[in-house]
Structure formats: structure tokens, C-alpha cells
């Protein structure tokens, strides 16, 4: 609780000075239960995606993994955040989700613990991703599973794509390679 209050004070000071946060100001929990700072990915482009195992878009796990394999050695990472916010399409535990992703799609990109991506209990990271006041880029709403946020090497949002845009879409691939 003390850390949360301290972080809140730091964030208020940054906002008072007209400075926005970066993704590196956040910690998240991995699907294995380890807390990591997103500063671990400093200098890499990140694709952040909310996922679900029982969604019509679930086959995008395959394309996410393909994209990750193509560019993981080129300062790029994908972070998957399972969420049960849309029609209960991610009912499993973290362990069940990890097993599902590996067994069905061979997922090797980092998966995080299940979180809320909308509503009053929305995870702090998703408050950042969806609030222009915090991210300095744009306001957005997470409309469905597999919405993608594109984060530049400087830790700031550079774009967002809704669920229907597949991970291997030329616009996303060109962003990853810098075109």
C-alpha cells in the first residue's frame, strides 16, 4: 500500500508538471506469479494485447507467436494479458491459461497474469493505455479481446489496433520493422 501511495504521489507530480508517464512506470505480474517492471523491456518495441481462450479471435495467438518469432531478436516483444472482461471468454486460472496457450498455439512470448482491462477495477497499466491524461497519446476504450497497443522504444504509445486487425497485418509488421 505504501508503494501504491508513493507511486500515486509521483504520478500526480508528473501530471502537475505536464509530463506524461511511460510504460516503464508500471509493474505487472507474469502468468507464473512473478512481479516484473516493464522497464525490463526498455529500448524494445512492445505489442500489448488483451487475450482470451474462448473467443472468436483466439486463433490470433498463432499470428502473435509468428510475429514474435520473426522479430523477438530485433528489439521487439509481445506481452499478452488474459482478461475475462468480455462475455466470460477467459474463465481459466493463470495455470490453465498458460497450459492452453502452450498446448494449442505454442506461445513463447511473455504472458502475464489475468487482469481487468475495463471497468472500475481496471489494472493500472490499462488505465495508462486508455487515458490520454496519463499516456500523452490518446484516449481509448478496450472494446474486445485481442485489442493491440503499440509501444515505441521510448515507452510511449505509438498506435492501437482493434481486434479485427490481425497481428501479422502489414501495418503492424511495418511498425515493428520501422517503416
Distance of CA 33 to the CA centre of its chain: 16
Q: Is residue 13 part of a domain?
A: no
Condensed to tens digits (0 to 9), the pLDDT of residues 52-65 reads 999 999 999 999 99
55 is catalytic: yes
The angle formed by the CA atoms of residues 33, 38 and 40, to the nearest 5 degrees, is 95
Residue 157: give the domain boundaries: 22-177
Q: What is the DSSP letter of 21?
A: P
Q: Which residues of the chain have pLDDT under 50?
A: 1-6, 9-18
Q: Is residue 50 part of a domain?
A: yes
pLDDT at 20: 60
Q: What's the domain count of the chain?
A: 1
CB 148 within 8 A of CB 49: yes
Condensed to tens digits (0 to 9), the pLDDT of residues 152-168 reads 999 999 999 999 999 99
**Interacting residues of 172 by C-beta distance below 8 A, sequence separation 6+:** 47, 67, 148, 150, 161, 165
Q: Is residue 92 part of a domain?
A: yes
Q: Is residue 58 part of a domain?
A: yes
What predicted TM-score, i.e. pTM, was given to this entire model?
A: 0.88
Q: Is residue 2 part of a domain?
A: no
CB 140 within 8 A of CB 134: no
Q: What gap in Å lies between CA 40 and CA 24, rounded to an integer?
A: 8
Indicate which CATH number applies to the domain containing 41: 3.40.30.10
Which listed residue (7, 14, 36, 55) is catalytic?
A: 55
Q: Is residue 151 part of a domain?
A: yes
Handedness of CA 93, 99, 100, 105 (dihedral sign): positive
Q: Is residue 82 part of a domain?
A: yes
Q: Is residue 4 part of a domain?
A: no
Closest listed residue to residue 150, CA positions, set 158, 142, 162, 141: 158
Amino acid at each position: 500500500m505504501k508503494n501504491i501511495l508513493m507511486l500515486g504521489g509521483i504520478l500526480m507530480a508528473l501530471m502537475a508538471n505536464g509530463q506524461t508517464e511511460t510504460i516503464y512506470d508500471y509493474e505487472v505480474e507474469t502468468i507464473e506469479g512473478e512481479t516484473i517492471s516493464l522497464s525490463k523491456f526498455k529500448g524494445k518495441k512492445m505489442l500489448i494485447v488483451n487475450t482470451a481462450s474462448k473467443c472468436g479471435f483466439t486463433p490470433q495467438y498463432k499470428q502473435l507467436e509468428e510475429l514474435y518469432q520473426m522479430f523477438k531478436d530485433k528489439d521487439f516483444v509481445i506481452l499478452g494479458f488474459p482478461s475475462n472482461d468480455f462475455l466470460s471468454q477467459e474463465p481459466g486460472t493463470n495455470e490453465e491459461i498458460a497450459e492452453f496457450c502452450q498446448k494449442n498455439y505454442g506461445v513463447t512470448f511473455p504472458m502475464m497474469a489475468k487482469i481487468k482491462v475495463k471497468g472500475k477495477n481496471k489494472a493500472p497499466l490499462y488505465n495508462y493505455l486508455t487515458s490520454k491524461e496519463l499516456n500523452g497519446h490518446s484516449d481509448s476504450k478496450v472494446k474486445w479481446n485481442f485489442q493491440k497497443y503499440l509501444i515505441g522504444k521510448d515507452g510511449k504509445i505509438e498506435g492501437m489496433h482493434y481486434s479485427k486487425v490481425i497481428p501479422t497485418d502489414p501495418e503492424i509488421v511495418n511498425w515493428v520493422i520501422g517503416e
